[in-house]
A and B are shown apart, each in its own frame.
Chain A
Amino acid sequence: MNRQIITIWAIRLALLGGLLAVWEGGAGILFDPYFVSRPSEIAEQFWGLLASGRLFYHAGITVVEALAGFVCGGLAGTAVGILLGRNELLGRALDPVILIFYSLPKIALAPLFVIWFGIGIEMKVILTGTIVFFLVFLNTYTGVRGVSRELVAIMKLMGARESDLLTKVVLPSVVTWVFTGLKLSVPYALIGALVGELIAANRGLGYLLSDAAGQFNTSGVFAAILAIIILAVLLNLAVREFERRMMPWQAGQYDREMSI
């Protein structure tokens, strides 16, 4: 088992090293560094951004936008998903509205949000929140609809009230779905924040990106992308950890040996 892990990591490092070596050595021979830059230059730019504190400043802004949108959209999506999922009449009545908004690529709303909310941080939070809302809402809604009717019947026989059903059956069986929605949302939350910054902003990683691109500074663009990747990975890890804590019985599932 341990040997296997070591092998896996060796393969990963070899691949990464090979890629960087080809990139570094090939730049200027195989491809034009003007377009693809070089790992060493990107590292230098990245270090520069890091040392001057600009990276933290801009990344901080993007994180705040993405997180605020993520949390607001996630909470609202869960709440509305449960409400419509438990209230069949309302859910069915609103079906077309849900479908329309689901089909609409939310990014298309960005210009409208600029008009409504200006180019400040609010606009990015609202854009991100809207995107996350629909992903989480739809997953939660599906999950609530899929709650085992047998379990609900058993609970009602025991004399359960709606509040009991909600806290003891619906919420626990829906968390899996909520987290599926949340995990799906991480990249979209970043897209929301970044697109908002690309369209109109003078701060944030999106701004850093478009600023570098505007100056045809390929290394700067790659450095910004690197920062975005790191941010995305961190956000993903955070959601995973949160998920693990919220669903200890699932962790039990993974840990226990399979038997059927």
Chain B
Amino acid sequence: MIPRPKTETSVGAPPQPSGRGVRLHSENAVTAQLIRFEGFGKSFGTAKAPMVATRGIDLEIARGEFITIVGPSGCGKSTLLNATAGIFAPTEGRVLYGGVPVAGYNQRVGYMTQSDHLLPWRKVDANIALPLEIQRRPKAEIARRVEELIELVGLTGFGNSYVSQLSGGMRKRCALARLLAYDPDTLLMDEPFGALDAQLRLAMQVQLRNLCTRLNKTVLFVTHDIDEAVALGDRCVVLTGRPGMVREIVTIDLPRDRNLYRLRSNRQYIAATDHLWSLLAPDAAREEGEETP
């Protein structure tokens, strides 16, 4: 659910009531293919007793595209992101980034993992500064950037706290700020907003969507929230239960510079969420009582 915020700041153009003629990419966006999964499959465990997490994934992602990924818990969503980052090699098929197979750590992606992986011995500001320090940026620039980002994610006043003193949602925001600090071409985000309250979540969604449209970032965004998947995505990849396969790729018929505050009454938005619900409902029913945070 997307709540209506008190302040109705207009972001981007007003929503177009008709989705007809709305193209996926705005004119200035580069539409070259950037990421490509070819028959991607990944099994864990031993060769004798493999645990197939996901298989037969074919997916092409254009530069500047915002892809959301939904599917039941344990179907291999994080696995897709891990493979794109080059954390592990596929056991079947291949993953291409910019036309070349991903081999080793893919430094053109920024990864906001499901667990935040912040450095406990650094304070919030130093955690956010980490990627900038690695890029050997000048101190003054780092300080300025960090301050901007702290404000952006709403952690003002907590720069001087250790990570252990933050709440779960605040840690997520710190990790998000760290991800945005290093400005990679592609953002891999694994349920980044799951732990946020509704207001902040909407604010972050707006920020992210704007940022990515403006800077033409490519995004792979895993979420359990169907509304979020539709609101943010240009396309939404729906995976089946384990072993995860592509069930359907839903093209979201919303403009690139959509106004997230006004989506609730948008016909395309409603149609797309309904469709996703119907796709996921059987799985959801089967999973009833099981995990899914």
Determine whether the beta carbon of A249 is less than 8 Å from that of B110: no
Could you tell me the distance between the alpha carbons of A253 and B107 in the complex, rounded to whole angstroms? 33
**Interface code B104-132, partner A: CB below 8 Å = 1, 0 otherwise?**
01110111010101011111000000110
Those of B241-281 within 8 Å (CB) of chain A? none
Knowing that A249-B121, A249-B122 are A-B contacts, what are 13 other residue pairs whose CB atoms are under 8 Å apart, sorted by A's residue number? A150-B117, A153-B87, A153-B105, A157-B85, A158-B107, A158-B110, A159-B134, A159-B135, A161-B134, A164-B134, A173-B121, A249-B123, A256-B165
User: Size range of the interface on A?
Assistant: 20 to 34
Q: How far is the CB of B109 from chain A (nearest CB, A)?
A: 7
Could you tell me the distance between the alpha carbons of A249 and B126 in the complex, rounded to whole angstroms? 12
For residue A247, CB closer than 8 A to chain B, the reply is yes
**Interface code B76-112, partner A: CB below 8 Å = 1, 0 otherwise?**
0000000001010000000000000000011101110
Enumerate chain A residues within 8 angstroms of B135, measured Cβ to Cβ.
Answer: 159
- Name which residue of chain B comes closest to A169, CB basis: B119
- Name which residue of chain B comes closest to A159, CB basis: B107
Q: How far is the CB of B210 from chain A (nearest CB, A)?
A: 24
Enumerate chain A residues within 8 angstroms of B105, measured Cβ to Cβ.
Answer: 153, 156-157
Enumerate chain A residues within 8 angstroms of B162, measured Cβ to Cβ.
Answer: 249, 252-253
For residue A151, CB closer than 8 A to chain B, the reply is yes
For residue B207, CB closer than 8 A to chain A, the reply is no
19 A–B pairs (Cβ distance < 8 Å), ordered by A: A151-B119, A153-B87, A153-B105, A155-B130, A155-B134, A156-B105, A157-B85, A157-B106, A157-B109, A158-B107, A158-B131, A158-B182, A160-B134, A168-B130, A172-B122, A173-B121, A252-B164, A253-B162, A253-B164
Determine whether the beta carbon of A154 is less than 8 Å from that of B165: no
Could you tell me the distance between the alpha carbons of A158 and B128 in the complex, rounded to whole angstroms? 12
Those of A128-166 within 8 Å (CB) of chain B? 148, 150-151, 153-161, 164
Enumerate chain B residues within 8 angstroms of A247, measured Cβ to Cβ.
Answer: 121
For residue B133, CB closer than 8 A to chain A, the reply is yes
Q: Residues on B close to A: CB < 8 A?
A: 85, 87, 105-107, 109-111, 113, 115, 117, 119-123, 130-131, 133-135, 162, 164-165, 182
Enumerate chain A residues within 8 angstroms of B113, measured Cβ to Cβ.
Answer: 150, 154
Q: How far is the CB of B116 from chain A (nearest CB, A)?
A: 10
Q: How far is the CB of B185 from chain A (nearest CB, A)?
A: 13
Enumerate chain B residues within 8 angstroms of A148, measured Cβ to Cβ.
Answer: 117
Could you tell me the distance between the alpha carbons of A172 and B162 in the complex, rounded to whole angstroms? 14
Determine whether the beta carbon of B182 is less than 8 Å from that of A168: no
Enumerate chain A residues within 8 angstroms of B117, measured Cβ to Cβ.
Answer: 148, 150-151, 154
Could you tell me the distance between the alpha carbons of A164 and B165 in the complex, rounded to whole angstroms? 25
Determine whether the beta carbon of A256 is less than 8 Å from that of B164: yes
Determine whether the beta carbon of B134 is less than 8 Å from that of A157: no
Enumerate chain A residues within 8 angstroms of B182, measured Cβ to Cβ.
Answer: 158
Q: How far is the CB of B119 from chain A (nearest CB, A)?
A: 7
- Name which residue of chain A comes closest to B106, CB basis: A157
Among A159, A247, A253, A256, find the residue whose CB has the most chain B CB atoms closer than 10 A.
Answer: A159
Could you tell me the distance between the alpha carbons of A157 and B87 in the complex, rounded to whole angstroms? 9
Could you tell me the distance between the alpha carbons of A158 and B180 in the complex, rounded to whole angstroms? 12
Among A148, A157, A256, find the residue whose CB has the most chain B CB atoms closer than 10 A.
Answer: A157
Q: Among the listed A154, A159, A161, which residue makes an inter-chain contact with B111, where contact means beta carbons less than 8 Å apart?
A: A154
- Name which residue of chain B comes closest to A176, CB basis: B121
Enumerate chain A residues within 8 angstroms of B164, measured Cβ to Cβ.
Answer: 249, 252-253, 256
Enumerate chain A residues within 8 angstroms of B131, measured Cβ to Cβ.
Answer: 158-159
Could you tell me the distance between the alpha carbons of A164 and B135 in the complex, rounded to whole angstroms? 10
Those of A197-247 within 8 Å (CB) of chain B? 247
Enumerate chain A residues within 8 angstroms of B115, measured Cβ to Cβ.
Answer: 150
Q: How far is the CB of A259 from chain B (nearest CB, A)?
A: 9
Enumerate chain B residues within 8 angstroms of A160, measured Cβ to Cβ.
Answer: 134
Among A151, A168, A172, find the residue whose CB has the most chain B CB atoms closer than 10 A.
Answer: A168
- Name which residue of chain A comes closest to B188, CB basis: A157
Those of A90-128 within 8 Å (CB) of chain B? none
Q: How far is the CB of A160 from chain B (nearest CB, A)?
A: 5
Q: How far is the CB of A166 from chain B (nearest CB, A)?
A: 12
Q: Among the listed B121, B134, B165, which residue makes an inter-chain contact with A158, where contact means beta carbons less than 8 Å apart?
A: B134
Among B111, B121, B123, B133, find the residue whose CB has the most chain A CB atoms closer than 10 A.
Answer: B121
Q: How far is the CB of A178 from chain B (nearest CB, A)?
A: 13
- Name which residue of chain A comes closest to B165, CB basis: A256
Could you tell me the distance between the alpha carbons of A249 and B131 in the complex, rounded to whole angstroms? 20
Enumerate chain A residues within 8 angstroms of B120, measured Cβ to Cβ.
Answer: 249
Enumerate chain B residues within 8 angstroms of A172, measured Cβ to Cβ.
Answer: 119, 121-122
- Name which residue of chain A comes closest to B131, CB basis: A158
Could you tell me the distance between the alpha carbons of A148 and B120 in the complex, rounded to whole angstroms? 12
**Interface code A19-39, partner B: CB below 8 Å = 1, 0 otherwise?**
000000000000000000000
- Name which residue of chain A comes closest to B86, CB basis: A157
Enumerate chain A residues within 8 angstroms of B165, measured Cβ to Cβ.
Answer: 252, 256
Q: How far is the CB of B26 from chain A (nearest CB, A)?
A: 29
Enumerate chain B residues within 8 angstroms of A249, measured Cβ to Cβ.
Answer: 120-123, 162, 164
